[in-house]
Structure 1
Amino acid sequence: MKQERREHSKQASGKGKPNTYANRSPKPVRSLPLLIGRKPVMEALEQGTTIEKLFLLRTATGPEINSIKQLAKERNIPISQVPVEKLDSFTKAQHQGVVAWTSLLQYVELQDAISHVVDKGETPLFMLLDGVTDVRNVGAIARTALCCGAQGLILPTSHAASLTEEAIKTSAGALHKIMLCRIPSVQQAMDVLRLNGIQILGTEMRGSVPVYESNLKVPSAIVMGAEDTGISKEVLKRADQLIRIPMATNFDSLNVSVAAGMIMYEALRQRTLDV
């Protein structure tokens, strides 16, 4: 579903803002606890420390860098290759081209999350985020998802918001209570969901089925798209059904977290309140 175009989306695309760091002084970044340097990051990866995101200098090379990349890939940790100014904005310490954000949260494998839900005798309900990059939207979606009975939130490693303190605060702690699944891509998540008999519902303004006519009593995963562009074309093609939220006017500006809340409440209504 095409969502509200937010001001930050214009900044992300480079409009009205320089595309390089050359003309700006590095500013402190409020984020997550840091791991700084090649050896500390390598040791953390080998020990299984939960890492939210890895930042590598674009020009960094060598066996250690290759090993770090490989371990991060195996653990579905997002990697961002950045200029030195970005790394310098995180720390004044000698970073050797490597900085990692350690996570305040824990992640579970998607298959393990599905199995856990089924073993408890519950009907799976997952939220799959495709390109949602605003931490406040992710936090708000997690909060509503938990309240409406969804068991898990699925996040791809690319084009996704990092779960920072702000996301946790916006979620009112829900991000600590709902299962979080990180997976390389939305397409891979869809493959795992479908293999487990979970229908995939894409949300789209021109979806053929009003949300109240969709069957949300069965195992379901609801895909919510990016704040500015909605769900990607490939995901739209592969979804089992495209649903929409009927609106009284042609004003197509539902915020993604608001739209997610409306759909999840319909799932709650069908599963527990509909008689």
Structure 2
Amino acid sequence: MKHFRPQHRPKKSSLIVGKKALIEAIQLGKQIDRIYLQSNGYRDVIDDVKRIAAQNAIPINYVPVEKLNGFNAGSHDGCIALVSKVQYQDLQQVISWVVEKGEVPLFLILDGITDVRNIGGIARTAFCTGVQAIIIPDKGVGALNEDAVLTSAGALEKITICRVNSLLKAVDELHLNGIKVLASEMTASTSVFDVDFKEPMAIIMGSEEKGIYPALMKACDIKFKIPMAGEFESLNVSVATGMILYEAMKQRLSS
């Protein structure tokens, strides 16, 4: 039986309660991590929130009213938003910034990783190994909340995070900028030790349960594996990411 780790209730200071307050916060430039919207709530609230969420690439979680009431945030009219703990950046602007600094791009793409402990651990290692940015989708990834920031030892607040509405489109953008996209895949024939990590690249890491989305895998330039002495189903994604990034850092330091 799978055991679920209880999540802490967000602090009230990190919540935006109600449609009006949400719209005002977005107009003031506040970054929103996600919106919790009552699934059977008022139609005008749902329509207005869906529109402004789409305009600002903010993910929506449709939840029952009990979930919203559980925040203990008072009258919410079917809408509560969570203020982002990180500042999201535009991918193309980040690519240009890295290149203008004279650095070789090394990005990390997270596909379907939902455990905030893994995300926090990955961010911590990424920051320590010279990754310039982590790219995440607006849906299907764990929230970069207080738990994730705590697990990352604050790295999520230091490393650049790009949130995109499509990882496939992000891969296209990376390719247009001359950045190769690599994927860790257990059945690949190439070893991680034979990959040239000195090139501009982005590495995709998928979830332990489902791996990398097939269309994303197909769009990759190189697939590689982490050799294992014993037969085992898979490595923890945070541990695997650490192994790959330290191999990349070793090669870049020795060049």
- Normalising by the smaller structure, the TM-score range is over 0.9
**Counterpart in 2 of 1:206?**
187
Aligned counterpart for 1:48 among listed residues 1, 26, 29: 29
**Counterpart in 1 of 2:236?**
255
Deviation per residue, 1:106-154 (Å, 9 max, x gap): 1101111111101100000000000000111111111101111100011
Alignment of 1:237-256 (within 5 A): 237-256=218-237
**Counterpart in 1 of 2:9?**
30
Tell me which of the two structures has the higher relative contact order, counting C-alpha pairs closer than 8 angstroms and 6 or more residues apart.
1
Deviation per residue, 1:173-215 (Å, 9 max, x gap): 1111110000012112111111111100011101221111111
Aligned counterpart for 2:141 among listed residues 160, 166, 190: 160
Which range moves more in the overlay, 71-80 or 210-219?
A: 71-80
AA paired with 1:88?
N
**Counterpart in 2 of 1:81?**
62
AA paired with 2:144?
L
Q: Secondary structure at the match of 2:70?
A: helix
AA paired with 2:17?
I
AA paired with 1:44?
A
Aligned counterpart for 1:236 among listed residues 210, 213, 217: 217
**Counterpart in 2 of 1:22?**
none
Does the 8 A contact of 1:127 with 1:221 survive in 2?
yes
Q: Secondary structure at the match of 1:113?
A: helix
Rounded Cα–Cα distance in structure 1 between residues aligned with 2:7 and 2:161: 28
**Counterpart in 1 of 2:171?**
190
Distance 1:28 1:209, change over 3 A: closer
Deviation of 1:259 (Å): 0.3
Deviation per residue, 1:44-70 (Å, 9 max, x gap): 122221111111111234444323222
Q: Percent identity?
A: 46
Which range moves more in the overlay, 99-108 or 40-49?
A: 40-49
Does the 8 A contact of 1:78 with 1:158 survive in 2?
yes
Rounded Cα–Cα distance in structure 2 between residues aligned with 1:115 and 1:185: 20
Does the 8 A contact of 1:37 with 1:98 survive in 2?
yes
Does the 8 A contact of 2:45 with 2:78 survive in 1?
no
Rounded Cα–Cα distance in structure 2 between residues aligned with 1:168 and 1:245: 28
Q: Secondary structure at the match of 1:90?
A: coil
| 1:124 partnered with 2:109 | no
AA paired with 1:30?
R
Aligned counterpart for 2:83 among listed residues 90, 95, 102: 102
Gaps of 5+ in 2: none
Deviation of 1:29 (Å): 4.9
Deviation of 1:28 (Å): 9.0
Q: Secondary structure at the match of 1:48?
A: coil
Rounded Cα–Cα distance in structure 1 between residues aligned with 2:154 and 2:79: 30
**Counterpart in 1 of 2:206?**
225
Alignment of 1:51-62 (within 5 A): 51-62=32-43
Which range moves more in the overlay, 54-63 or 162-171?
A: 54-63
Rounded Cα–Cα distance in structure 2 between residues aligned with 1:225 and 1:186: 12
Rounded Cα–Cα distance in structure 2 between residues aligned with 1:207 and 1:54: 39
Q: Secondary structure at the match of 1:68?
A: helix
